[in-house]
Amino acid sequence: MKQGRTILAVLLLLLAAGCSAEKEQSKKTADEPSSKTSDEADYTIIEASAQQIEHIQGIGYPGNDTGLYLSSSDGLKFYKDGIWHETTSLNHDYMGFQAVKEGFIVSGQPDKNSVIKNPLGIVKSTDKGASFKNLAFSGTSSFPFLAAGYDTNIIYMINQDKSEELEAGVYRSQDAGKTWETVSLKGLEADTLGMIAAHPTHPEIMAMSTRSGIFFSQDRGETVKLVSDPVMATALAFTENSLYYAYADQEKVQMSKIDLETMENSQIKIPFLSYDNPITYIAADNKSKGRLAISTYLKDLYESADSGANWQLLLKNGRIE
């Protein structure tokens, strides 16, 4: 868990030895029933009290709500109608948060008062975190690096450590977690991995950030190609027609957009961020064209309603007043 909270792990994950040479193999997991907890009846979303968020571990716009979700080491936070909200119970240590059409997919460790198996494995919620359906690896593993297609069944994950179920490496599931296969990443000219992004509606399209730039695939990660300058890329996210990515270049934090039809890059204007405060997550609202959010290593959070032309500060240093 500590590894997922260092700046190196936020920016880049060292490529597991032998990952690119590993032969593709399928792994099966049981489709377990939904997880229920004794706290579920008391689960309520209320206006948030003044607090300091310790770790931002993901952001996104689930399709079954209108707010911006923030996953943290102390549960979910919700920004809606200009107000921050929080939950009254089930404050799980969320990692790998991925917004999808029906809700969200996530990993991590359960609240100490919960009866959910520890670690979470990969789970899905369709009721704003009140309950979960187990998708894979319940009670055996947690995954800080996940990607999920908003309106598809595809999930990508990076398995950092060898386990009884999987070798270390990059995997995908094309059936919402029932089976898993290795991702070949042929053409990856980098010795590191970072964030993975899945296109919201086209399951064959994915991309990955690395210390050497953004690598793009149109065959579910079997082959990839560099589509950016060789920069230290720290975060990325798809919209229907674009791929947004953040990077550190010449001691500046910057953000660009790739047009998926022409593959041309264009610069996005963002608020000034110091080099020690890189962008860690980018989220796009698939229901509201132009709505974006970015979070940073020092827990700043910005939102744009016009594809990045203007930005509103929602959090400074993770402080909810």
> Once rounded to an integer, what is the mean pLDDT over residues 94-110?
98
Q: Locate the domains of the chain by residue range.
A: 45-320
Q: How confident is the model at residue 224 (pLDDT cuts 50, 70, 90)?
A: very high
pTM as predicted: 0.90
pLDDT at 113: 86
Structure tokens at 304: 């744009």
- pLDDT of residue 9 exceeding 60, the answer is no
Alpha-carbon dihedral sign for residues 64, 70, 73, 76: negative
Please identify which residue in the block is written with the tokens 């980018």: 282
Q: How confident is the model at residue 10 (pLDDT cuts 50, 70, 90)?
A: very low
- pLDDT of residue 75 exceeding 70, the answer is yes
Q: Give pLDDT tens digits for 37-54.
A: 445 558 999 999 999 999
- pLDDT of residue 28 exceeding 80, the answer is no
| Range name among 13-27, 100-114, 189-203 with the lowest pLDDT average | 13-27
CA 267 to chain centre: 22
- In angstroms, the CA 296 to CA 141 distance is 26
> Once rounded to an integer, what is the mean pLDDT over residues 217-238?
97
pLDDT at 37: 47
- pLDDT of residue 26 exceeding 90, the answer is no
CA proximity to 172, closest of 190, 194, 196, 188: 196
pLDDT at 40: 59
pLDDT at 41: 57
> Once rounded to an integer, what is the mean pLDDT over residues 85-107?
97
DSSP 280-315: EEEEE-TTSTT-EEEEETT--EEEESSTTSS-EEEE
Phi, psi dihedral angles at 218 (to 5 degrees): -115, 15
Q: Tell me: domain 45-320, CATH 3.60.150.10, correct? A: no
- pLDDT of residue 27 exceeding 60, the answer is no
pLDDT at 250: 80
Q: How confident is the model at residue 164 (pLDDT cuts 50, 70, 90)?
A: confident
Q: Give pLDDT tens digits for 288-319.
A: 999 999 999 999 999 999 999 999 999 999 99
